[in-house]
Chains A and B, each alone.
Chain A
Amino acid sequence: MPSSGSPRRQRLSLAAVILGAAIVPFGLRAVNAVTRPPGAEPSYIPSVESPRVRGPFDREAVEALREAANDVILIGDSMAGTRIHPGHLSRLMGGRGAAALFHPGSGPAYWYLTFKNLVVNAGLHPRTAVFFFRDENLTDTLFRVYPSALDRVARQREPVLDELLAARANGRYFRVHRILTRLYGHDQARAWLEPLIVRAPVAWSATRRARKRLLERINNEVFTLDALRPMAAADMASASGEALDFRRNLPTSVLPEILRLSHSSGIRVAFVRVQRRPGPDGPPPQSAALRAYVGALRAYLEENGALFHDDWGDPDQPLSIYEDGDHIAREYRLHCTELFFRKNPEVFR
């Protein structure tokens, strides 16, 4: 063992290093203060987000919806976006309007806020709101909690959603994570540092647009689900374990709240589970756990007066109509819209 310095000085030096490890990260707050644009305010979901500058609520969308007075409101992500053409659906409905509130890369938190703030609380009275989702997405509240999307549909405070997110993120890990985040503000530093690193290797590209385009092409053309080995694609496409325990996830999901809003507003809700990318010989494989999950979801929704439709195994949606991953090719969008109209008569009754 080294005998450098007195024991007391050695202990002080140990304390100095431990303190250094604890104190230096506070420097991130100083960095944040420099890099943070003015106008940061507490988040509407403070349990999982630090103060930041938020984007504006989309009032124009509310006005447009109010003016159109649609019969059916469609809510979902790119799965719905590549399958449903709202104009064509309106024509199929005989002129009664269908409005699409799709946002690519959105999740259940976004869908819930859209329904609550753009439809129910805006005083609209469509007959039906239809939610499109994949597998266990509906009950995975933390799936795609992206501020850039949520800002457009969130009010100043969203206590119900915040409580659900807090409950979902209430493990020991999340509690420690929250404490550290509040102490050091490293999530704010990450918000600007990580994109900087991810974009740095394409810095040679002449314009910001060219850089963005290249990153999009790498994601959408090189690393598509199609390009993966079958096992890897299956692993990536399928949820497992606790995510497929419907009863466990229901209390911390937005589903009961959507149904409560539906009952209080008199707007009927329908849920469509879109089919993931099928294999060359048939529909995509489903684990026993996923089948059990879907069964429990269907039973719960039907018990609570909601409509449910499952696209899985639809022979009219073969592999040939798919483009990348679970997206449908553009030329089959009208075909899928017609399928949706034909196979969900209750929605349009």
Chain B
Amino acid sequence: MIFHSLDFAIFFVLVVPLYWTLPHRGQNLLLLAASAVFYGWIHPWLLSLVATVALVTYASGLGMEIWPSRRKTFLWFGVFVTFGVLGAFKYFGFFAENVAAALSLAGLRVPRPALSLVLPAGISFYTFQAVTYPIDVYFGRMRARRSLVDVAAFVSFFPSLLAGPIMRASTLLPQIEGVRRFSAAAARDATLLLAWGLFKKLVIADNVGVIANKVFALREPEFHVLWAGVFAFAVQIYADFSSYADIARAVARWLGIDLVRNFDHPYLAASPAEFWQRWHISLSTWFRDYVFLPVAYRISGRLTAEKRFGLDAATRAYAGGIMVTMLAAGLWHGAGWNYVLWGGYHGVLLALARLLAPRRGRRRRARRWLRPARAAGMFALTAIGWLFFRETDGSMILRDLALSPFQASALGRQTGAYLFFLAGLYSIPLWIDSLWSKLGGPSLTAAMAREDARLDGRLVAAQALLAGTLVAGALTLHATTSLDFIYFRF
């Protein structure tokens, strides 16, 4: 089921009132049943996968508690089976293709795999979410749970099931276990967040998505047309993915559950590290905690303190750790070399930024006014990354990077300018939202975070007006072509 569908609207209107009439255990059972309907709506067989993952992670946690001497065995059981499901469905074809290609380079003829598996929607998200449970139990961050219903509701929690945010067991499970009370303030803010999410998806992401799709369908786009298309894609992917996260958070809030924020105006970032603190936060912190820190720690343990290539041990450990992490993060996005390239590119950016940071530390503090220019520079670097991400054909990437603005035709320049401004026009609300946040404007959608907030009539009036304006905008300007959420395919 997708959020911007009539099916989901009916589902939501039925589930929420019923949910609040039930006692706590009943609510959790309903959450589980609703998640099954939500996911099974795509295809019932998908339920077998999420059920397997839920059962395995539950058993793994329970095993660690019952047989403490075999904790490691149960940890690996949980991790291997969960990632095994992900690997089999997402990477089997990619792996087999590449092995066959490598062997054929060596002169060996290997038949291409006849088995082609369909990628189940959301599998990268719920497997990454589920695997935090055995890991956190193993490291003593939380105790194993006895209730299969609670663990299964955590693994399959429908608002974040298909495209995140990726919740940690230690964050979401206690909320599922705890008694929840309906908060009208939270629901009020969630309503505005829902309207904003729908607007971003239907008006911004889908309209600029049409531009990006058109440009990336061209055989030989000229320089200006190509980069206008890349700009459109940069807007599309942010609006599309953050809209899903907003709607997911809004729906969860209506159910009395707080999901983590997944985006914090990433295009305001002035450095690669800051970008990753603002972009897909739940995934980047997952990779930081479960991949980067262990890898960097292991690398630093093997390094000598003396400088190599003019780099101290800490910098070398960071560079090694970040490259491994970002290549893995790239591969997480899709079974394709372009995603690996995209991850590697960001790894290089992060490592370079770290190398250059000490030298310009003082200068940076002195020139805060340069921040807008640095943010624009970072946006340009991010856009180059989006080219690798969007373009699946390696030869096209090379061709695109070799394009010169000076060889473009007049029509190519005019078309590029037209598409750039059109994408810019559709994305104005997105930039206003970011600037509003940057200038310190009060958040209209964050009552849950404001423990001491008082009911402010002006705030409510502003919320009501804004929610209505967003609905009117979505009705009037929604794209005629409705595109799938981009991150569904990951």
Contact = CB atoms under 8 A, between A and B. Distances in A.
Interface of A: 1-5, 7, 9-11, 13-14, 16-25, 27-28, 172-173, 176, 180, 184, 186, 189-190, 193-194, 197-198, 200-202, 214-215, 217-218, 221-223, 227-229, 232-233, 236
Contacts of A222: 218, 225, 411-412, 415
A147 B151 CA distance: 56
Given A1-B186, A4-B185, A21-B464, A172 B6 contact: yes
A237 B420 CA distance: 26
A161 B430 CA distance: 42
B472 A17 contact: no
Interface in B229-251: none
Nearest to A24: B468
B425 A232 contact: no
A228 B460 contact: no
Given A17-B188, A17-B463, A184 B472 contact: yes
B477 A197 contact: yes
Given A173-B6, A214-B418, A222-B411, A229 B217 contact: yes
B465 A20 contact: yes
Residue with the highest number of chain A CB atoms closer than 10 Å, among B420, B447, B465, B472: B472
A180 to B, nearest CB: 6
Nearest to B420: A201
Given A17-B192, A197-B422, 5 more contacts: A19-B464, A201-B419, A201-B422, A228-B217, A229-B217
Nearest to A197: B425
A229 B219 contact: yes
A27 B472 contact: yes
B184 A10 contact: yes
B476 A186 contact: yes
Interface stretch (B122-130, B290-298, B448-456): B448-456
A2 B476 contact: no
B188 A10 contact: yes
5 contacts: A10-B188, A17-B464, A25-B472, A176-B6, A186-B472
Interface in B431-488: 447-448, 450-455, 460-461, 463-472, 475-477
A151 B455 CA distance: 54
Given A10-B455, A17-B191, A232-B217, A2 B186 contact: yes
- For the residues of B in contact with A, the DSSP-based class is helix
Interface string B406-418: 0000011011011
A115 to B, nearest CB: 28
Contacts of B451: 2-3
A23 B420 CA distance: 34
A16 B191 contact: no
A199 to B, nearest CB: 10
A43 B50 CA distance: 50
Given A176-B6, A229-B217, A229-B218, A22 B184 contact: no
Interface residues of B, number: 52
A19 B467 CA distance: 9
Interface string B255-280: 00000000000000000000000000
Nearest to B444: A17
Interface in B292-318: none
B321 to A, nearest CB: 38
B471 to A, nearest CB: 5
Interface of B: 6, 181, 183-188, 191-192, 195, 214, 217-220, 225, 411-412, 414-415, 417-422, 425-426, 447-448, 450-455, 460-461, 463-472, 475-477
Contact of B218 (A5, A13, A228): A228
Contacts of A173: 6
Given A14-B191, A229-B219, A214 B414 contact: yes
Contact of A5 (B220, B454, B467, B476): B454
A317 B217 CA distance: 26
B426 A197 contact: yes
B188 A2 contact: no
B219 to A, nearest CB: 5
A11 B225 contact: no
A229 B392 CA distance: 13
A254 to B, nearest CB: 22
Contacts of A23: 468
Contacts of A13: 184-185, 188, 455, 460
Nearest to A180: B475
Residue with the highest number of chain A CB atoms closer than 10 Å, among B217, B411, B453, B466: B217
Nearest to A7: B184
Contacts of B414: 214, 218
B191 A221 contact: no
A185 to B, nearest CB: 10
Contacts of B183: 1-2, 10
Contacts of A201: 417-422, 425
A22 B471 CA distance: 8
A148 to B, nearest CB: 17
Given A20-B463, A21-B468, A11 B184 contact: yes
A5 B448 CA distance: 14
Contact of B465 (A2, A24, A172, A193): A24
B460 A16 contact: yes
A24 B418 contact: no
Contacts of A180: 475
Contact of B468 (A4, A22, A233): A22
Given A201-B418, A222-B411, A18 B220 contact: no
Contacts of A200: 421-422, 425
Contacts of B450: 2, 4
A11 B6 CA distance: 26
Contacts of A16: 188, 460-461, 463-464
